[in-house]
Amino acid sequence: MRVFYQKSELNASKNKILAKSIGLVPTMGALHKGHIMLVKRALEDNELVLVSIFINPTQFDNPEDLKNYPKNFESDLQKLKKLKGNIWVYAPKASDLYSEPITAKLFYFGSLESTMEGANRKDHFQGVATIVQKLFEVLEPTSAYFGEKDFQQLKIVIALVNQEKIPVKIIPCPIIRHSDGLAMSSRNKLLNPKHRAMAPIIYETLQKASALKEKHSPVQIESWVIDFFELHPEFELEYFTIADAESLQKTSILNGTKNRAFIAVKLGHVRLIDNVKF
């Protein structure tokens, strides 16, 4: 494994080896098994795997959230070192990717970004698209691996690649969960023990909501979820949405398997998201 802090050094080395397939796994670090699954998948498909570790400031609308985002660089490197294969880590400072003042580029993703995470985190996807485009331009991967944990982000990245005609294949990967069902997330480390013990309720609720779909409409299921969290005031429900998995627009009729249910809740100060096929 090699570690690079500057794109110029990484690209100089990359130009020497002429890898035919390069898989990129963009991350913000504090790596867990969800990230590692993406890296393993990329190792199966590519001669060289690049793992970027960079907490992208332009996708945070809240400076406290950015400041408190978990960091564990040394342990991240240890986890990656255990994997067999050709892994290069790219861990830049902001100045290697952004000029001052650090700002996001403007994109138009229409209704894909006006809902859920886009509606609740101001300019979040403008920041995501900005950094993903920069990483694609700088690192020129042939494929890039994204988790369905951030399903809306995955759709935005696909739209970005189509809009900007970036020659990279986007590979979606399934959500990895703890044995109690909680979706793995770097943010789980921020939960206090009481909230960590309660957090599996998020996925349980998604599953219970899914079981209701045989006999109930999306509107009825949504109000059931709202009522459920009113009875559990430790959780602050931000949204629960049953949407078409392509357009991400709220659906009022369940059409076969093309739907997904999305949820965002706060437990104390920690904001968690999850989604399931519906």
Do the Cβ atoms of 171 and 145 come closer than 8 Å? yes
Q: In the chain, what's the furthest Cα-to-Cα distance?
A: 60
**Contact call for residue 182 and ligand AMP (CB under 6 A):** no
- Matching residue, tokens 């899914």: 210
Quick one: which of 92, 141, 147, 218 contacts ligand AMP (CB under 6 A)? Answer: 147
- Least CB distance to ligand AMP at residue 142 (A): 17
Which residues make Cβ contacts (< 8 Å) with residue 107, sequence separation at least 6? Answer: 125, 126, 129, 130, 160, 163
Quick one: which of 4, 14, 22, 27 contacts ligand AMP (CB under 6 A)? Answer: 27
Which residues make Cβ contacts (< 8 Å) with residue 251, sequence separation at least 6? Answer: 218, 242, 243, 244, 259
- Least CB distance to ligand AMP at residue 227 (A): 28
Nearer to ligand AMP, 155 or 218 (CB): 155
- Least CB distance to ligand AMP at residue 135 (A): 12
**Contact call for residue 35 and ligand AMP (CB under 6 A):** yes
35 annotated active-site? yes
Give the pairing type, strands 270-277 and 259-267.
antiparallel
Quick one: which of 7, 149, 155, 195 contacts ligand AMP (CB under 6 A)? Answer: 149
Spatial distance between the Cα atoms of 43 and 132, rounded to a whole number of angstroms: 20
Per-residue interface string for the shown chain with ligand AMP, residues 88-127, x marking contact by CB under 6 A: ----------------------------------------
Do the Cβ atoms of 31 and 135 come closer than 8 Å? no
Contact residues for ligand AMP (CB under 6 A)?
27-28, 34-35, 38, 146-147, 149-150, 173, 175-176, 183-186
Q: Mind telling me the catalytic residues?
A: 35
